[in-house]
Amino acid sequence: MCLAYLRHFGPAAQAVIQHDRFRRILDVRASRELFALLDAPGRTFRRSFIARALRSAARWDGRGRGRPYLNVGHTGLNSPGFCQWVRNSDVRPIYLVHDLIPVTHPQFCRAGEAEKHRARVRTVLTTATGVIANSRATLDELARFARQEDLPEPPGLAAWLGSDPLQPALDLKPPQYPTFVTIGTIEARKNHRMLLEIWSRLVDRLASEAPLLLIIGQRGWKADEVFALLDRSDQFRGRVTELNGCSDQELAGHLTSARALLFPSHAEGYGLPLLEAFGLGVPVIASDLPVFRELADDVPDYIDPLDSAGWEAAIIEYARADSAARSSQLKRLGSLRLPDWDSHFAAVERWLFPRDGATETGQYRLNQGLHG
C-alpha cells in the first residue's frame, strides 16, 4: 500500500523524514533519490537508506506552503512534538487510517498498544484536514471514536485499497489431499487456535484422510498457546504445516491449490488476503465481519468466529471433491468486481483536488464516506 502511494504521488511530491522527534521536509532532488531507493530497495536497502537519509537531512525544505501532507502508515502520530510540527510546518495533513483495532479490541494487541493507538487516533482527529479510510467499516469506527471522545470529525473518504495481482508458477502441481490455507501474522486476533483445535479433531477422527492446513505467516504476539501447539506438530500427523515466509509467486501457488482460504479473524480493518484469493478464483470461508461484507457482499461463506462447530462443518464440506457449497461460491465469485488501485487513486484525487473549487461527493463528514 505504501509503495502504491509512493509510485502514484512520488513524481510530484517531496519526502518527509520522520524519526522520533526529528522531522524534515526534503528538497525535490533529495526526495527523488529517496523515492527511487524505496521503489527498488535491493539487498543493501537498510544501510543505503540510512546513509542516504543522513546525507539528505541537510538538504531540507521547511516550507509546507499549504500543501497536503500524506501520512499513509500511522507513522509518528503518537511521537512527541508531532502535532506542533504539523502546526508550524504549514501543511494540510491527510491521514490514511487502517483500523482502530488496538482501541476496539485491546485484548488481541501487545501491552501498551491501545494507549499508543488511542493517541494516534486523537492526533488524526485533532490535526487532520481530511481522513482517508481503507473501508467504510473503518470510517464508521473512527466516527464512533470521535463522538465518544467529543473530538472533531474531519472530512472523510472511504476508498478501498487495490491489490497487486498474484501470479502462480506455471508448473504448479495439485496437492495430493484437499488443502486449506490461512494467511496472516500468527496472533490471537487471527483465531489460529480455533483452526488448530478443529484440525486436532479432524486428525483424531480421519487420521491420514484428514485435509491439510497450511498456515502462512510470521509468529506475532498473544498466541503462546498456538505456538506451543505448532511446536508439538507431531500431534497433527503431518496434516498442519507452518510456513513463516514465502515469495509472492509461492503464495499464489499455495492459494491456487487450496479448496478455500480460511479467514476466521475476530476483527479486521480491511481484508487483503480475501481479495488476493478472489483474484485467483479461490473461494473464501470468512468471519462474519462488517468489512468483509462491505468488500465481498454475499460471495464468501460467512461464519461467526466463535462458532467452531460451524467452521468444522464448512471445512469438511469444502474438502469434498463434489462440494455443492464450494461450487455455489465459485458461481457467486464470477460476478464480484474487485477493488483496484486505479479506482482508489481516482477517488482520492477527486476528493483531494476538486475541480473549480466545487465540493466533491466524497467530501462528507466521517460517517458519510464514499466507496472507491
Domain ranges in the chain?
2-163+341-368, 179-333
Compute the C-alpha angle 354/357/362, nearest 5°: 40
Cβ atoms 51, 45 nearer than 8 A:
no
Q: Please give the average per-residue pLDDT across 87-107, as a whole number.
A: 96
Q: How much is the pLDDT for 371?
A: 29
Helix H or strand E encompassing 193: helix 192-206
Q: How much is the pLDDT for 182?
A: 98
* Residues sharing a CB contact under 8 Å with residue 210, sequence separation 6 or more, in sequence order: 177, 199, 202, 203, 237, 239
Q: How much is the pLDDT for 299?
A: 97
Q: How much is the pLDDT for 62?
A: 66
1-10 tens-digit pLDDT:
999 999 999 9
| Res. 172 pLDDT band, cuts 50 70 90 | confident
Q: How much is the pLDDT for 170?
A: 74
Compute the C-alpha angle 340/346/348, nearest 5°: 100
d(CA 25, CA 146): 30
Q: Please give the average per-residue pLDDT across 79-95, as a whole number.
A: 93
Cβ atoms 171, 306 nearer than 8 A:
no
- CATH domain 179-333 topology: Rossmann fold (3.40.50)
Task: Map grid coordinates 487483503 to a residue.
Answer: 272
Predicted TM-score (pTM) of the model is 0.90
293-345 tens-digit pLDDT:
999 999 999 999 999 999 999 999 999 999 999 999 999 999 999 999 999 99
